[in-house]
């Protein structure tokens, strides 16, 4: 009995010592700041004056009355959906193609994954040159096909599309890698049995592969939407949120309010909305997954 108690005490001490090296920075740089952000969202602090004034819900109500805020919300949703869905579909398509071949798999895989490891800022600079309306590569390609030239980053109609293109280009390989592994785990025997039963390529894909890899799809959708809510680098380099706020997402709005205007209170309120949006996304995705994801 006494030995047992001593052992449990030991486990408590060892457990505490094991979590400590991560717990310290976790508390200092995550948990306290998150709570502090929430607190700041009820103030109008400018990040400089020593005293902090309470404004109750002012930051929230003024945001909810501000059309510009709804624009950033809409931009954020457009960006999230616009990057996640194409990345998932194209990533799966490429992974299926890679799975269907043996020759050159390594080279294709390497090339398609490569953008993921490069700095977003550097590749965005390269892309800003590709988007250049007069001599940029993209408009040249369009002109080959007889299509009209676009103003890409300089037009409010196409700026968001441009930022989405760069983002999908960068994360496609990452999505593909996860799908590649998931597809390989689909039991061959199931697919062979279906072939014997006369199932075609497409019906095997939609009736066997898709349901079996659905946990991976769910995981990738969650990660990709959470990432999209935090996108900053490409927006900062390509458009700075413009033109006319066309690519200003909530995160970018937060950055501008906090570190350009030094309105910590309003910025923190935006951060709280961002948290709420993340939670809503995760809840919706979890609810949908309960109906569609097959775990065995």
Partner 1 sequence: MKRKMPSAIKGIAVHTILLVSSIVIAFPFLWMLTNSIKTKAEIWQIPPKLLPSTPQWNNYAIALADGTLFTYIWNSTYTSAIITVIVLINSAMFAYAITNIKFKGRNLLFVIVMITYMMPVAATYVPDYIIISRMGLINTHTGYILSCTASIFTIFFFRQAFMQIDKSIFEAAKIDGADHKTILWHIVAPMSSSSFATLGIFTFVGSYNNYLWSSLILKDQKKYLVSMGIQAFFSAEGSYGLNWGAIMAACCVIVLPLLLIFFIGEKWIINGITSDAVIKG
Q: Residue 230 interacts with partner 1 (CB under 8 A)?
A: yes
Which of 82/136 has CB closer to partner 1?
136
Question: 167-196: which residues touch partner 1 (CB under 8 A)?
Answer: 169, 172-173, 177-178, 180-182
Among 6, 28, 193, 240, binds partner 1 (CB under 8 A): 28
Hey, which residues does 43 pair with through a beta bridge? Answer: 54
Determine the 3-state secondary structure of 54 from DSSP: strand
What part of residues 253-292 is at the interface with partner 1 (CB under 8 A)?
254-255, 258-259, 264, 267-268, 271-272, 274-275, 278-279, 282
b/e burial code for range 182-205 (CB count within 10 A of at least 16 → b): bbeebeeeebeeeeeeebeeeebe
Sign of CA dihedral 53, 54, 60, 62: negative
Query: Least distance (Å) from partner 1 to the CB of residue 35?
Result: 8
The verdict on 101 binding partner 1 (CB under 8 A) reads yes
d(CA 239, CA 106): 35
- Part of the chain binding partner 1 (CB under 8 A), chosen from 65-73, 123-131, 154-162, 202-210: 123-131
Of 1, 2, 5, 22, the one binding partner 1 (CB under 8 A) is 22
- Establish if 31 lies at the interface with partner 1 (CB under 8 A): yes
DSSP, collapsed to helix, strand or coil, labels residue 65 as coil
Using DSSP's 3-state secondary structure scheme, residue 230 falls into coil
Of the candidates 65, 39, 66, the one whose C-alpha atom is nearest the C-alpha of residue 53 is 39
Round to whole Å and give the CA distance between 294 and 202: 19
Residue closer to partner 1, measured from CB, 1 or 17:
17
Q: Does 92 bind partner 1 (CB under 8 A)?
A: no
| Residue 203 touches partner 1, criterion: CB under 8 A | no
Instruction: Write the CB contacts of 35 (distance below 8 Å, at least 6 apart in sequence).
Output: none
Considering the complex, state which of residue 184 and residue 207 has its C-beta at the smaller distance from partner 1.
184
How many residues sit close enough to partner 1 to count as binding (CB under 8 A)?
93
With CB under 8 A as the contact rule, the residue among 98, 159, 212, 246 that binds partner 1 is 98
Q: Concatenated DSSP letters for 170-191?
A: HHHHHHHHHHHHHHHTS-HHHH
Q: Is 226 helix (H, G, I), strand (E, B) or coil?
A: helix
Backbone conformation region of residue 104, classed left if phi is above 0, alpha if psi is from -120 to 50, else beta: left
Q: In the complex, what is the shortest distance from the CB of residue 250 to partner 1, in angstroms, rounded to a whole number? A: 9
Give least dist CB 172 to partner 1, A. Answer: 7
Q: In the window 48-87, what residues touch partner 1 (CB under 8 A)? A: none
Q: Which of 155, 156, 208, 233 binds partner 1 (CB under 8 A)?
A: 233
> Which residue bears the tokens 């954020």?
76
Smallest separation, CB 255 to partner 1 (Å): 7
Rounded Cα–Cα distance for residues 97 and 176 (Å): 10
Residues 6+ apart with CB under 8 A from 143: 149
Shortest distance, position 73 Cβ to partner 1, whole Å? 14
Report in angstroms how near the CB of residue 216 gets to partner 1 at its nearest: 7
Please state the closest distance from residue 196 (CB atom) to partner 1, in A: 13
In this structure, are residues 44 and 63 in contact, taking their beta carbons and an 8 Å threshold? no
């Amino acid at each position: 009995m006494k030995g047992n108690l001593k052992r449990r005490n030991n486990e408590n001490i060892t457990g505490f010592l094991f979590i400590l090296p991560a717990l310290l920075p976790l508390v200092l740089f995550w948990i306290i700041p998150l709570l502090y952000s929430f607190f700041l969202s009820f103030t109008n602090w400018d990040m400089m004056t020593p005293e902090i004034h309470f404004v109750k819900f002012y930051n929230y109500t003024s945001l909810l009355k501000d059309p510009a805020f709804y624009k950033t919300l809409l931009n954020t949703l457009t960006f999230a959906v616009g990057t996640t869905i194409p990345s998932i579909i194209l990533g799966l398509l490429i992974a299926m193609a890679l799975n269907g071949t043996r020759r050159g798999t390594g080279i294709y895989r390497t090339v398609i994954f490569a953008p993921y490891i490069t700095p977003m800022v550097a590749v965005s600079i390269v892309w800003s040159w590709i988007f250049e309306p007069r001599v940029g590569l993209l408009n040249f390609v369009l002109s080959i096909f007889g299509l009209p030239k676009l103003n890409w980053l300089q037009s409010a109609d196409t700026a968001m599309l441009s930022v989405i293109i760069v983002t999908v280009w960068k994360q496609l390989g990452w999505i593909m890698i996860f799908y590649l592994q998931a597809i390989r785990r689909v039991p061959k025997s199931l697919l062979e049995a279906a072939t014997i039963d006369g199932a075609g390529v497409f019906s095997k894909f939609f009736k066997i592969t898709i349901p079996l890899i659905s946990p991976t799809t769910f995981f990738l959708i969650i990660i990709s939407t959470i990432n999209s809510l935090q996108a900053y680098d490409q927006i900062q380099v390509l458009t700075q949120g413009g033109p006319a706020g066309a690519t200003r997402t909530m995160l970018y709005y937060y950055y501008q309010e906090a570190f350009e205007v030094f309105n910590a209170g309003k910025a923190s309120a935006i951060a709280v909305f961002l948290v709420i949006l993340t939670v809503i996304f995760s809840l919706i995705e979890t609810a949908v997954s309960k109906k569609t994801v097959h775990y065995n």
